[in-house]
Amino acid sequence: MKRIKFFKLEASSNDFILLDNRKQNLNLDYKNFAKKYCARRIGVGADGLLIIEPSQVGIVKMRIFNPDGSEAEMCGNGSRCVGLWLKLEGGYRKKKTMRVETKVGIIEIAVSSSQEIKIKMIDPFDLKLDLPVKIFKRTVKVNYVNTGVPHAVIFVEGLEGINVEKIGRAIRFHKKFSPQGTNVDFVEFGGSNLIMVRTYERGVEGETLACGTGIVASAVVASLKLGIERKVKAKTKSGEVLEVHFKNERGKFSEVWLEGGANLVYKGEITLKGG
């Protein structure tokens, strides 16, 4: 029987299993592992699996697998969890800023003494506003941007009453966003520089309590649609308020930082049958 050490972390109630494979000795099928152990009730239970591997361009490489086994390009909340783990468990307690390799490029992570974590995201791209999308015999205006993963952003009134599962799924699989599909963010303006966000996540195939790349996508679109400059505060389904800082020069965004907390919930061991 083979035993594997794991860490359970969460950021904005978005929870993850983390495995340290820097020594390349785990010899796991990550896809099947994610499907089995991210499952609620019968596994550890998580919104995703984080794998830490060696890197030639950063201090480590981060890989993310969804509960359906698909590999994601990027995860904002997962990145915050990785940043905290590197400080507490990964041997980088004294390092102020850490460069981490992802599938979409290098991100920078800074962790404060109070465990507030700032992630420098990739520059958003492929921005499109007011795309007409027909669902359930009506046309809705959808904004689209890639913040490491694709996001469709929809402004609504009465956010709490929105059927995120039904509408989100219809847009996530809509032919306009095929073949890769998209995450879907429902956004309500809260006044000043505050927005409220609920997200249907691709790969999870349901609503999560928070989505970091979705918060960034929503903030970027809010900056353009609502005229919010430099900083957007975003309240997640979990109730936590995250901050997104950025530069917006005529619709071109750079220096995008996502800021919020994270927690190491517990450590454990998984016994693999036949290992």
What are the domain boundaries of the chain?
2-121+262-272, 125-259
pLDDT mean over 34-61: 96
211 an active-site residue? yes
Question: Active site residue: 211, 215, 217, 242, which one?
Answer: 211
Please check the confidence at residue 48 and state whether its pLDDT lies above 70: yes
- Residue range 148-206, pLDDT digits in tens: 999 999 999 999 999 999 999 999 999 999 999 999 999 999 999 999 999 999 999 99
Q: State the chain's mean pLDDT as an integer.
A: 95
Write out the two tokens for 77: 């909340």
Please check the confidence at residue 274 and state whether its pLDDT lies above 70: no
d(CA 65, CA 56): 21
38 an active-site residue? no
Q: Beta strand pairing status for 125-135 and 138-146?
A: antiparallel
Instruction: Give residue 90's pLDDT.
Output: 87
| Confidence bin at 251 (pLDDT 50/70/90) | confident
Please check the confidence at residue 273 and state whether its pLDDT lies above 80: no
Instruction: Give residue 234's pLDDT.
Output: 98
pLDDT: is 70 or 115 the higher one? Answer: 70
pLDDT mean over 262-275: 88
Question: What fold, for 125-259?
Answer: Diaminopimelate Epimerase; Chain A, domain 1 (3.10.310)
Q: How many helices (H) and strands (E) does the chain have?
A: 4, 18
Instruction: Give residue 263's pLDDT.
Output: 96
Instruction: Give residue 272's pLDDT.
Output: 86
Instruction: Give residue 221's pLDDT.
Output: 97
- Residue range 91-102, pLDDT digits in tens: 888 888 999 999
DSSP string, 154-220: EE-SSGGG--HHHHHHHHHT-GGGTTT--EEEEEEE-STTEEEEEEEETTTTEEES--HHHHHHHHH
- Element containing residue 84 per DSSP (H, E): helix 76-88
Please check the confidence at residue 1 and state whether its pLDDT lies above 80: no
Question: Active site residue: 11, 17, 75, 142, which one?
Answer: 75
Question: What fold, for 2-121+262-272?
Answer: Diaminopimelate Epimerase; Chain A, domain 1 (3.10.310)
- pLDDT over 70, % of the chain: 99
- pLDDT over 90, % of the chain: 90
Instruction: Give residue 96's pLDDT.
Output: 85
d(CA 92, CA 108): 14
- Residue range 107-141, pLDDT digits in tens: 999 998 888 999 999 999 999 999 999 999 999 99
